[in-house]
Structure 1
Amino acid sequence: MNQRPKLRSPPPSSAASSPSPPTSPNLNRDKAKTIIKMPRKSYIKPTLVLASLLTIFALYTFLFYTPPNYNNNSSNLLNLVNKFDTNNSNVNKVKIYMYDLPRRFTYGVIESYAAARGGGQVEKDALLKYPGNQHSAEWYLFSDLNRPSESRINSAVTRVMDPEDADLLYVPFFSSLSLVVNPIRSANANGPADRPTYNDEQMQEALMEWLEEQVYWKRNNGWDHVFICQDPNALYKVIDRVKNGVLLVSDFGRLGRNQASLVKDVILPYSHRINTYNGDIGVENRKSLLFFMGNRYRKEGGKIRDLLFQVLEKEMDVIIKHGTQSRESRRAATQGMHTSKFCLHPAGDTPSACRLFDAIVSLCIPVIVSDYIELPFEDVINYKNIAVFMDTTTAVKPGYLVKSLRRVSTERILELQKELKKVKRYFEYEDPNGTVKEIWRQVSSKLPLIKLMTNRDGLIRLQNSPQSCYKISLYIENLDYQEPATTYFGEKPRPAKLACTIISMS
């Protein structure tokens, strides 16, 4: 180890090395006198100048300084951010391309719906009106992407017109409306012979035939495609052919585990069917304890409704009515939900139903009776803060549900109503900061997973290319196995030659 170097004194100067001339004692005394008589340097003058300047500055500050207006500053900063975002609208946004589908899959479905009910032809697509129903999310998303980009400020996605630039590709087929184009008729009713016929299954097949010819569908095996199928039966015939994509659904009630999951898909709220409650929180005008109005008899998971009718219809302060979709029923439901503290939400044919969202916009605390349910936007909404949950076995015990609700204090009811008021915008499709904006945020959050799956799928296809298969077969031939060689893909063992098949990762 090197030792720390010693500090050395600077070499003496040449003047110091030469001998000093002798000094006269008298000269030294004279010099000392001179030094003693030299006046001291004065610091009083600069100190006074500095003090004067500080005094003037303090006086100016006291008389003329105005404290900053932080509200204006925040507003100015927000305006600056918005301006920057407007000028750079594509920065950090997911780019989405909407397919220009043949007309029969979009406006043509609306036209067929109207024609099946006696409606006439219209000259322009802009004059077609999407029929209001609980599955109208497909119309709101389609309309939103058709709006000018400058009117979609702060959206998580931006529309691009070139699919080469897109992160995601949206397929705007009105699949839920397509299911109900033909009106429900009684078995003995005979419709007019001149009414046009419509076949939803043929439309689904035609959509897939068109889509499978698109180069961008083949490019990533459908992983980067987005489909809306909000009705539980929408796209049911081709669901296995689109399951790689992001599915926009209301719940997973009729979808298998290999078809849908919370990891890759998005849960949508139904469009509420009753008017929004615009009043403030409170219990004074909510005289009823519990309200429900809907079809008493449902299929599958909805059979719980009949049992709930039996245990609740004779309870005091409980309104439970059988009703079907009609204008009069909606008026009665609006009145009932706006004047009740709690609104019952049992399952429909599938775990979810539009009644939940009717209750939320009514500030009527939902009582969700279900053993399993997927709810919209669970990453931003804590449903325990806005709803009461109860399993089906407990809910049908005579008297138990009503007694539990009566024990909820007024303070707790007000807390729940306050939270409902905060989140109800997430269930308003027509609110610029509401449902549509949140759906696109949810869709955009799937992009990292989509990139992972497309890259992995591409890797598997590369490994299963003819060149890779040839190498695998040579390797197997060089092995002296008595039994056929096997390889594992996380499932059952398969013959090694099957390694050359493309594996769909669902």
Structure 2
Amino acid sequence: MNQRPKLRSPPPSSAASSPSPPTSPNLNREKAKTIIKMPRKSYIKPTLVLASLLAIFALYTFLFYTPPDYSNNNSNLHNKFDTDYSNVNKVKIYMYDLPRRFTYGVIESYAAARGGKPVQNDVLLKYPGNQHSAEWYLFSDLNRPSENRTNSAVTRVIDPEDADLFYVPFFSSLSLVVNPIRPANANGPADRPTYNDEQMQEALMEWLEEQVYWKRNNGWDHVFICQDPNALYKIIDRVKNGVLLVSDFGRLAHNQASLVKDVILPYSHRINTYNGDIGVGNRKSLLFFMGNRYRKEGGKIRDLLFQVLEKEKDVIIKHGAQSRESRRAATQGMHTSKFCLHPAGDTPSACRLFDAIVSLCIPVIVSDYIELPFEDVINYKNIAVFVDTNTAVKPGYLVKSLRRVSTKRILELQKELKKVKRYFQYEDPNGTVKEIWRQVTSKLPLIKLMTNRDKRLVGRELAEPDCSCLCSNQSGVQAIL
């Protein structure tokens, strides 16, 4: 409790310090009587009241106040954003009932191109497991009964008039790889159907442009998934107003995508999740990498890393293509290593990063232009090590730096990895899909801003598209502010 404030005498007046004119003795005696008769002002009562109020406030603070926790860790962020959406107004999303050829038909074409037999019921169709399966998980989630989606940020509506957002469930990444990659001189079986991804994209756009809700807001309130770096490449300029669900901006221009309007998705991990506890006892290797040594563009860093790392002690670095055997070897390596190397591939990100996270193998990210999913709730500095490409390829630097990381620090990083790994598990009911929808709903205020702005702007000729305030994926945030 604060001490009682000291009472202070008023400062001497200027009249007291200056010479006074002479007065008569009788007048002075009369003044003295008058002064003596004036009641003296008491400070005791208000001081007691103030002291009582301060005492009550101090007691309340002591009993009921809990100081805020400003510690910088991911668990606090999780509590902040793990919102219970069951008792709030959810964002209403309408999923277009696309013609079958854009959804189940793509799966059917993929199977047929590999000799599969047609099935009589769409329920029997299986989406081929690959790193771009987010489009299947989102489609399946919106098809679930509403009572099974009580804690989602979005609710599916059947009447498009009720919708805040419109989801276009074209399997764009699968469509891109329907036709198997064959040598240029190989001839496929004549009885197998042909499939053309570019034609499918154009057909989707023709169908969409006939929809009244696409025209109504110039596509701003539409959501597209194009997780593969080349998905929707043919029509990307015609859908760029919408919210794009992408894995990175490696193949997208500055006026097509940005962190301001789009959502970064994690790839689906391809190796088994590590279900053990944190620790270094069974992690004998210092650093692990298994993947294609030779890549294009930013992925050229891989060959340089092979050259400086392949002879280092306690480092396992192998060249390997995608196969069932390679995945088994990668699972073993990631589950028994302290750190897992994540260099850029043909694009800045790859599924290997998310394999490492679910393995509790601390990612060492060597990719200068990478974008990461869910950075408003995950502080990646608490779960990963970042090294720029020029420094990483210096002989001896990377290994020496990792050896200096203490066991205590490794356990701290593993502990945070264990906390956040559910964000990278699509099959978890409280995992990736739930977080993607939360990210999508966060774009709604911007969508409303842009649709209202579009409606009041007077048509005018522009030398360049008027989207610099929104679309630049390098400086979009600064520009829009």
TM-score computed with the length of structure 1 as normaliser: 0.74
| Conservation of the 8 A alpha-carbon contact between 2:74 and 2:377 | no
| Conservation of the 8 A alpha-carbon contact between 1:381 and 1:423 | yes
Structure 1: how far apart are the matches of 2:14 and 2:310? 118
Please give the per-residue CA displacement for 1:312-357, whole angstroms capped at 9, x wherever unaligned. Answer: 0000000000001100000000000000000000001100000000
C-alpha distance 72-340 of structure 1, shift in aligned 2 (>3 A)? closer
Please give the per-residue CA displacement for 1:98-151, whole angstroms capped at 9, x wherever unaligned. Answer: 000000000000000000000001000000000000000000000000000110
- Say whether 1:63 aligns with 2:38: no
Structure 1 residue 186 displacement after superposition = 1.4
C-alpha distance 283-58 of structure 1, shift in aligned 2 (>3 A)? closer
| Conservation of the 8 A alpha-carbon contact between 1:293 and 1:323 | yes
Listed as ranges, the matches of 1:22-421 within 5 Å are 91-421=88-418
Structure 2: how far apart are the matches of 1:246 and 1:309? 38
C-alpha distance 316-32 of structure 1, shift in aligned 2 (>3 A)? closer
| Conservation of the 8 A alpha-carbon contact between 2:74 and 2:379 | no
| Conservation of the 8 A alpha-carbon contact between 1:86 and 1:150 | no
Partner in structure 2 of residue 20 of structure 1? 20
Structure 1: how far apart are the matches of 2:442 and 2:114? 40
With 232-241 and 63-72 compared, the bigger mean Cα shift is at 63-72
C-alpha distance 27-65 of structure 1, shift in aligned 2 (>3 A)? same
| Conservation of the 8 A alpha-carbon contact between 2:74 and 2:382 | no
* Identical columns (%): 93
Please give the per-residue CA displacement for 1:269-297, whole angstroms capped at 9, x wherever unaligned. Answer: 00000000000000000000000000001
Structure 2: how far apart are the matches of 1:2 and 1:86? 40
| Conservation of the 8 A alpha-carbon contact between 2:77 and 2:377 | no
Structure 2: how far apart are the matches of 1:376 and 1:165? 29
Unpaired runs of 5+ residues, structure 1, are 458-482, 485-501
Structure 2: how far apart are the matches of 1:8 and 1:354? 73
3-state SS of paired residue (2:338): strand
| Conservation of the 8 A alpha-carbon contact between 1:291 and 1:337 | yes
C-alpha distance 98-399 of structure 1, shift in aligned 2 (>3 A)? same
| Conservation of the 8 A alpha-carbon contact between 2:78 and 2:377 | no
Structure 1 residue 260 displacement after superposition = 0.3
3-state SS of paired residue (1:432): coil
| Conservation of the 8 A alpha-carbon contact between 2:131 and 2:268 | yes
| Conservation of the 8 A alpha-carbon contact between 2:77 and 2:378 | no
C-alpha distance 219-74 of structure 1, shift in aligned 2 (>3 A)? closer
Please give the per-residue CA displacement for 1:421-443, whole angstroms capped at 9, x wherever unaligned. Answer: 00000000000000000000000
Q: Which has the higher contact order (CA 8 A, sep 6+)?
A: 2
Structure 1: how far apart are the matches of 2:73 and 2:31? 68
Unpaired runs of 5+ residues, structure 2, are 455-463, 466-476
C-alpha distance 44-217 of structure 1, shift in aligned 2 (>3 A)? closer
Structure 1 residue 373 displacement after superposition = 1.1
C-alpha distance 121-504 of structure 1, shift in aligned 2 (>3 A)? farther
TM-score computed with the length of structure 2 as normaliser: 0.78
| Conservation of the 8 A alpha-carbon contact between 2:289 and 2:341 | yes
Structure 1 residue 88 displacement after superposition = 9.4
Please give the per-residue CA displacement for 1:397-435, whole angstroms capped at 9, x wherever unaligned. Answer: 011000000000000000000000000000000000000
3-state SS of paired residue (1:72): coil
Structure 2: how far apart are the matches of 1:447 and 1:199? 34
C-alpha distance 69-232 of structure 1, shift in aligned 2 (>3 A)? closer
C-alpha distance 7-443 of structure 1, shift in aligned 2 (>3 A)? closer
| Conservation of the 8 A alpha-carbon contact between 1:86 and 1:153 | no
Structure 2: how far apart are the matches of 1:99 and 1:264? 21
Partner in structure 2 of residue 448 of structure 1? 445
Structure 1: how far apart are the matches of 2:420 and 2:239? 32
Structure 1: how far apart are the matches of 2:17 and 2:332? 112
Structure 1 residue 188 displacement after superposition = 2.6
* Number of matched pairs: 461
C-alpha distance 50-2 of structure 1, shift in aligned 2 (>3 A)? closer
| Conservation of the 8 A alpha-carbon contact between 1:116 and 1:196 | yes
C-alpha distance 74-96 of structure 1, shift in aligned 2 (>3 A)? same
| Conservation of the 8 A alpha-carbon contact between 2:94 and 2:160 | yes
